[in-house]
Amino acid sequence: MTPFAMTAAVDEALDAERELVALETSVLSHGLPAPWNRRAAEAMESAVRSAGAEPAWVWTDAGFVRLGATGDDLDRLTSGGAAKVARRDLPIALAAGTLGGTTVSAAAWVAHRMSIEVLATGGIGGVHPRSGDVSADLMELSRAPITVVCSGPKAILDPKATMERLEELGVGILGFGTDRLPFFVVREVDLPLEHRADDPKEVAAAVRARRELGVASALVVCNPCPAEAALPADLVASAVRRCTDRARGVTGKRLTPTLLACLAEETEGRSLEANLALLEGNATLAGRIAAHL
Ligand code: PSU
Ligand code: MN
């Protein structure tokens, strides 16, 4: 029996070879509080569909890796009871029947396994300042030949150290409409990007070239947070400094969700507005790239 279970919509899209966009679900289960997570889910789904592709939420439940989610499924994923499932946790979560939200590392692995080429998220994981914590997203991006549309690394991370790791791991980076690194809720920071695309078609061409070459690492498309929702870099930097202090002693999987919750508190909810806006923007761009493949 296959360990994958899909909704009818995802099944039909796969059968008809219609383009799909994989969506990680740990942003729903751990990255955003209610009701923001449910709103993000709806906004991302309609964004992918409007762009001409089918959304495929990646999650685990009752012994299956699930692709696609109904409204009831999304209610369960956003109501606080789900585990955070990284790639290494997938077999264990399956065996235990865990309800789980997948991180980028797990969703990237599943997307590649199911031949889905594009994945959308908010911000990828990376190198945390001081604690020595490094997200499993980075290693997985080095061996999942997919395209991840994000707004750069999450603003709770060390952007420079994260970019150095991505270079070492051979992960391709494309700025979308920018020459500088998008930094999650901050539109961009002063780190130059070598490569830029201004049109989904250009990204699709790079995806096809990667496919033809058989290069095994991911292409990360860094799409800046919409200007009207983005936060000033200095405001976020000082909030993150306070949060990093407040989160001292928090380890493992809880670190990123703890820092994101703290960032929301320290910015009086503005980081949530920005997170929602960039998730929607990334889902749209992912759908448009997929539609060009
Ligand atoms: N993007 C968001 N919010 C999130 C995440 C991404 O806007 O919460 C999630 C992704 O699932 C990413 C995870 O893979 O955070 C990183 O967690 P960690 O640092 O523990 O690897
Ligand atoms: Mn970690």
Q: Write down all domains in the chain, each with its CATH number in brackets.
A: 4-292 (3.40.1790.10)
What residue's CA is closest to ligand 1, atom 11? Answer: 103
The predicted pLDDT at position 56 comes to: 98
Calculate the CA dihedral of residues 59, 60, 62, 64 and round it to 10 degrees: 100
- Say if CB 24 and CB 102 are below 8 A apart: yes
pLDDT higher than 90, residue 267: yes
CA-to-CA dists, residue 116 to 187, 234, 244, angstroms = 28, 37, 35
What is the bridge-based pairing of β-strands 64-67 and 54-61? antiparallel
The predicted pLDDT at position 94 comes to: 98
pLDDT higher than 90, residue 239: yes
* Rounded mean pLDDT, 11-28: 96
* Rounded mean pLDDT, 203-208: 97
CB distance 293 to ligand 1 below 6 Å = no
The predicted pLDDT at position 272 comes to: 98
Bridge partners of 176, per DSSP, are 197
The sign of the dihedral angle between the CA atoms of 36, 37, 41, 42 is negative
Distance 164 CA to ligand 2 centre (A): 17
* 30-51: pLDDT as tens digits: 999 999 999 999 999 999 999 9
Q: Which of 153, 148, 147 is nearest to 182 (CA)?
A: 153
Distance 228 CA to ligand 2 centre (A): 31
The predicted pLDDT at position 46 comes to: 98
- What atom of ligand 1 comes closest to residue 30's alpha carbon? 8
